[in-house]
Amino acid sequence: MSLWDKYSAVRSHSVLICSKLQKEDYVVQPVVDVSPPKWHLGHTTWFFETFILIPNAFAYQPFNPDYNYVFNSYYENIGARVIRTDRGNLSRPTVDEVFQYRAYVDEAMEKYLPGLTDPTVLELLELGLNHEQQHQELLWYDIKYILGHNPLFPEYAADNIESGLVNSAEGWADFNEGVYEIGYQGDGFHFDNELGRHKVYIQNFSISTRLVSNADYLEFIRAGGYQDFNLWHAEAWDWVNKNNITAPMYWYEVDGIWHRYSLSGLETLKPEEPVSHISYYEAAAFAQWKGMRLPTEFEWEVASVQLDWGKLWEWTESAYLPYPGFSKAAGALGEYNGKFMVNQKVLRGASVATPAGHGRNTYRNFFHPNLRWMFSGIRLSK
C-alpha cells in the first residue's frame, strides 16, 4: 500500500461520514465542545498543509493565507486563531470552498508523497492521519449532537454506526495482584502519552466482561439515583443541580416511555444495549450505587486481553497524568497531549465511532468529567 493509498483512504473516510449531511448541518456549533463539520474538514486539511506541505513541498503555495487563522485549533505556536466559541459564527468559507481546499491540498500531497523518505516527515504524516481519524470520531459526536438537539429530531441515516452497540455476555474476569507492565511497546504508531512503558503494582481485582446496560441504568434512575447526593462527588452534585440532569444525554421520557435519540432518530429505549453518552460523574455515581467502582486505567489495560471491547469509551477512575519519563516534543507538536494533563479523566477502549485500525489497548483517551456528548459508557470493577 503506497503512502498515497494510505493517505487517500483516511481522507476519503472523513468525506464519507459527512455524505448524508445537508449543507446547513456543516455550519452550526450548538455548544462550545461541538465544532461545525466543515471546520473539522478544514482543520484536518490545514494540519497537512501547515506541518507537511508548507515547510517541505517545493514551491507549494498555500490555498488561502487567511485559513491559518480560521482553521488553527489550539496551536499557540502557529499564531492567532478564531476563538473556539466563534467557530459556529462563520458562514464563510463555504462548504464548497472547504471541499475545494481539501482537493487542492490532496492534489499537492499526491505529488509530494511518492518522493517522501525523510523519517521526520513520515512521522508527521502518520501523526496527521491519526489526527484526522480522531476528528472523524469527533465528527460523529458533533453530527449526532447537532441533529439530536434539533427540535425536529432529524435522522442521520436508518443504517449507521449505532447498530454496533451490542452488549457482551455477563461475567467477571479476575486478576491477581502483582507487578505488571503498562504502556506502548512496539514499532507501530502511538501517541507520546502512551510512553514510557513502565511497571505498576496492581492489587487483586475483578472486572465485568459486560458494559452497564440501559436497563441497569434505568434501575438507578428509578431508585432515585439522581436525587441522592450521597452517591455523587461534590462537584458532580453541583453539576446535576445546575443543569437539571435527570438521565443520560439523548434520553427523553415521552408519555411515560423512555426514548433515546440515536442516529436513526428518536426510538424507544433498547434495554440490553450498553448505556451510552454518560459523564464520569454519572459513571462514578452509578458505581457507588452498585457498591462497586470504576477500574483504573492500569487494571483496564491488564484486563483488556480478556475484554471484548470497541463499543463505547469506558471511563476509568484514573486521572490523565504523564507516565514516568514522559516528555513532550518541542514546538507545535508538543502541544498535542501534554498540555491537557490536568483535570481530565482517562477513558480506555474505543467506540463504534472510532475508525477501523485507530484503536489500541494502550490508547489513552481523555475528557473532562462532566462531558458526555461522546460515545462513552460504564464498565464496573470491584
142 counts as binding a second copy under rule CB under 8 A: no
Is 227 a binding residue for a second copy by CB under 8 A? The answer is no
19 touching a second copy, by CB under 8 A: no
**Of the candidate residues 1, 16, 158, 179, the single one contacting a second copy (CB under 8 A):** 179
Identity of the residue, 114 or 325, whose beta carbon is nearer to a second copy in the bound complex: 325
User: Is there binding between residue 341 and a second copy (CB under 8 A)?
Assistant: yes
Residues 6+ apart with CB under 8 A from 192: 326, 327, 328, 329, 336, 337, 338
Q: Of 6-14, 129-137, 161-169, 320-328, which segment contacts a second copy by CB under 8 A?
A: 320-328
Q: Does 150 bind a second copy (CB under 8 A)?
A: yes
Single out the residue of 17, 124, 165, 236 in contact with a second copy (rule: CB under 8 A): 236
Q: Please report whether residue 366 would count as binding a second copy according to CB under 8 A.
A: no
> How many chain residues interact with a second copy (CB under 8 A)?
68
Q: Which of 12, 20, 23, 123 binds a second copy (CB under 8 A)?
A: 23
**Binding span for a second copy by CB under 8 A among 7-15, 111-119, 144-152, 246-254:** 144-152
343 binds a second copy (CB under 8 A): yes
Q: Which stretch binds a second copy (CB under 8 A): 112-120, 249-257, 336-344, 372-380?
A: 336-344
How far apart are CB 249 and a second copy at their closest, in Å?
15
Compute the least distance from the CB of residue 340 to a second copy, in Å: 6
86 binds a second copy (CB under 8 A): yes
Alpha-carbon span 253 to 248, nearest angstrom: 11
Q: Which of 61, 66, 227, 271 binds a second copy (CB under 8 A)?
A: 66
3, 10, 17, 28: which one binds a second copy (CB under 8 A): 28
Residues 259-288 that bind a second copy (CB under 8 A): 280-281, 284
- HSE value, Cβ hemisphere, 13 Å, CA-based, for 205: 22
Comparing C-alpha atoms, which of 313, 371, 380, 343 is closest to residue 165?
313
334 binds a second copy (CB under 8 A): yes
Place of cell 487563522: 69
Give, to the nearest 10 degrees, the angle between helix 3-18 and helix 119-148. Answer: 10
- The smaller minimum CB distance to a second copy, of residues 217 and 232, is found at 232
Question: Whose Cβ is closer to a second copy: residue 116's or residue 329's?
Answer: 329
Closest to a second copy by CB, 22 vs 163, is 22
**Pairing mode, strands 265-268 and 257-262:** antiparallel
Question: To the nearest whole angstrom, how small is the minimum distance from the Cβ of residue 112 to a second copy?
Answer: 27
69 near a second copy, rule: CB under 8 A = yes
Say whether residue 163 binds a second copy (CB under 8 A). Answer: no
- Cβ contacts of residue 75 below 8 Å, gap of 6+? 81, 332, 335
111 or 339: CB nearest a second copy? 339
Which residue, 58 or 201, is less far from a second copy as judged by CB? 201
58 part of the interface to a second copy, by CB under 8 A: no
Which chain residues interact with a second copy by CB under 8 A?
Answer: 22-30, 38, 66, 69-70, 74, 76-77, 82, 86, 88-95, 146-147, 149-152, 154, 177, 179, 198-201, 203, 229-230, 232-237, 280-281, 284, 293, 317-319, 321-322, 324-325, 334-335, 339-343, 345, 369
